[in-house]
């Protein structure tokens, strides 16, 4: 993938989104339902789109919210609905639309006081805290966010009573009903005026921040961080964690400096990502260039994407690869959490680094490898049978010190603070821990590439069986596994993973573009990785015939 000449450089004015037009398009454009791209479509992280393209507009949000209200009624969910929104420009109007529909449907809604932004983990934590010890009258939630995506994007996801991302058995019901509602020109939507909704008795302000911050001491050793006076740098990247860091610093007496307080919806303060786009991806060294430039000023620093479900850890060595940090987090947590169940699982997605596999095997841990998507960790985290669940895309969560659930959605703030705890408790930062780990388990090289693919080919790839893979070797090594279902739970991976002793690749079709993604890793060298990537294309091509 070619690197844009402005990658890592400040965003030029011409790259900024026209916010008035973006918001106007949300209200004024009518989706064309003859175009599949303009229908409601729940992927792994809810419905996402762009107002100018007719894929994230007022009609979508009204219809989805109505569908959620109807689902709640069918499922017997009668408790409050916690709703939060991030700092993307489309999140505010979408929040307004959702409140109008929720109020008219009689749903008891709780939103952040002052209409301030709420991170994804804030909503998950609120749901779980409310539901703890209850058998009925359970709460659920909505998070309005397109995560790290560019400033013109909008997103809307539903978290049921378990507090995590809804599974397909729920999202399909909501998606299909929302599209049915839109096909009827939203005639089935119950709605009231915005001012009336805010004054409705069933719509009320709520403090998401205080309870979350106060509870952190039950999952992170905040006392150890405070005693160390560790110098910590934080870049909220214009996102929803902006209101959390000062209360955290004040309550626990931490030496935290927030390096950027901007919440400009154009995200004009960002440096451009690898492709020249503004993208608040805290796992990208290009998007994180501003914080990386300050690395020598702090003992440790971190950034979060707009809804704060992802983490980016910066040491004096630079930005850590998300896979590297996941491995060090697992190694540290399963050594320093005596209150966890002895048989607690390590949850990883099948495209996360295999250094986690080697670490788990060496530590005698129970590894659970699942398909892509944080929803696969929800059940284990809820029950306390999974100590840690993490994705290759810099998202993770883990149990409280006593082995009970913290959040069932990704929590970037939590993983940030864990990096600080790890540093002060062990005397080594996460990058130093990872360096020691590679001496023991090998130093993997990991890359993801995109390959052009037709819709027909993508459909076949998503339904492959192991028998369709005829190759016996990959990059000079015997193939030890051909997977189309995840070893941890037997669920379809929607693609293919091929494994050898010292490398692997996984191929998955994109849900939004005419490409498939190849994830590949080698424990030998870069030449071996290139061979894996090249032969992967051939293996996939043969399987698609």
By annotation, the residues acting in catalysis are 147
User: If DSSP codes are grouped into helix, strand and coil, which group holds residue 293?
Assistant: coil
Rounded Cα distance, 101 and 279, in Å: 31
CA torsion sign, 525 to 531 to 534 to 537? Answer: negative
Asked whether the beta carbons of 349 and 392 are under 8 A apart, the reply is yes
14-39 per-residue burial string, b: 16 or more CB within 10 A, e: under 16: ebbbeeeebbebbeebebeeeeeebb
CA 180: distance to chain centroid?
Answer: 28
Please give the radius of gyration of the chain, using alpha carbons only, rounded to the nearest integer. Answer: 23
Best CA proximity match to 60, nearest among 93, 84, 83, 87: 93
User: If DSSP codes are grouped into helix, strand and coil, which group holds residue 448?
Assistant: strand
CA distances from 258 to 110, 216, 242, 246, 249 (A): 28, 19, 9, 8, 10
CA 120: distance to chain centroid?
Answer: 9
Strand ranges in 245-332 using DSSP code E only, listed in sequence order: 256-258, 300-304, 311-315, 318-319
Asked whether the beta carbons of 26 and 57 are under 8 A apart, the reply is yes
User: If DSSP codes are grouped into helix, strand and coil, which group holds residue 438?
Assistant: helix
């Amino acid at each position: 993938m070619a690197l844009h000449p402005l990658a890592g450089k400040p965003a030029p004015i011409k790259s900024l989104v026209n916010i008035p037009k973006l918001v106007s398009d949300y209200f004024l454009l009518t989706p064309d339902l003859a175009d599949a791209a303009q229908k409601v479509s729940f992927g792994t992280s809810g419905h996402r789109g762009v107002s100018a393209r007719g894929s994230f507009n007022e009609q979508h949000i009204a219809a989805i919210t109505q569908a959620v209200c109807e689902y709640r009624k069918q499922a017997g969910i009668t408790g409050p609905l916690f709703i939060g929104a991030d700092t993307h420009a489309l999140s505010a109007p979408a929040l307004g639309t959702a409140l109008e529909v929720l109020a008219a449907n009689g749903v008891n809604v709780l939103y952040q006081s002052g209409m301030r932004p709420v991170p994804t983990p804030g909503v998950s934590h609120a749901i779980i805290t409310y539901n703890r010890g209850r058998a009925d009258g359970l709460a659920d939630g909505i998070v309005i966010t397109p995560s790290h995506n560019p400033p013109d994007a909008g997103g809307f996801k539903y978290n049921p009573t378990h507090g995590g991302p809804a599974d397909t058995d729920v999202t399909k019901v909501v998606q299909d009903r929302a599209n049915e509602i839109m096909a009827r020109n939203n005639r089935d939507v119950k709605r009231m005026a915005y001012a009336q909704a805010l004054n409705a008795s069933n719509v009320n302000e709520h403090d998401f921040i205080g309870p979350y911050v106060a509870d952190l001491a039950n999952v992170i050793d905040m006392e150890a961080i405070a005693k160390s006076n560790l110098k910590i740098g934080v870049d909220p990247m214009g996102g929803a964690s902006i209101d959390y860091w000062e209360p955290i610093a004040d309550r626990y007496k931490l030496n935290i400096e927030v390096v950027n307080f901007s919440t400009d919806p154009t995200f004009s303060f960002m440096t451009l990502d690898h492709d020249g786009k503004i993208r608040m991806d805290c796992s990208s060294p290009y998007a994180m260039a501003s914080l990386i430039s300050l690395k020598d000023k702090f003992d440790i620093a971190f950034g979060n994407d707009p809804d704060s479900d992802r983490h980016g850890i910066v040491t004096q060595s630079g930005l850590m690869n998300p896979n590297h940090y996941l491995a060090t987090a697992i190694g540290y947590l399963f050594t320093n959490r005596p209150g966890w169940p002895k048989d607690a699982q390590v949850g990883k997605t099948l495209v996360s680094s295999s250094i986690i596999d080697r670490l788990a095997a060496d530590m005698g841990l129970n590894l659970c490898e699942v398909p892509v998507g944080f929803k696969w960790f929800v059940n284990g985290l809820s029950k306390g049978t999974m100590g840690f669940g993490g994705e290759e895309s810099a998202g993770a969560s883990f149990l409280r010190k006593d082995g009970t659930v913290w959040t069932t959605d990704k929590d970037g703030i939590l993983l940030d603070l864990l990096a600080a705890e790890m540093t002060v408790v062990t005397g080594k930062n996460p990058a130093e821990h990872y360096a020691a780990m590679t001496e023991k388990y090998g130093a993997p090289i990991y890359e993801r590439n995109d390959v052009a693919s037709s819709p027909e080919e993508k459909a076949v790839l998503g339904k492959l069986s192991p028998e369709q893979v005829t190759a016996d070797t990959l990059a000079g090594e015997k193939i030890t596994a051909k997977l189309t279902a995840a070893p941890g739970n037997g669920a379809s991976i929607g693609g293919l993973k091929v494994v050898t002793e010292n490398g692997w690749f996984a191929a998955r079709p994109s849900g939004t573009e005419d490409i498939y993604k190849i994830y590949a890793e080698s424990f030998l060298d870069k030449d071996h990785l290139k061979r894996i990537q090249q032969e992967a294309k051939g293996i996939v091509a043969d399987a698609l015939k």
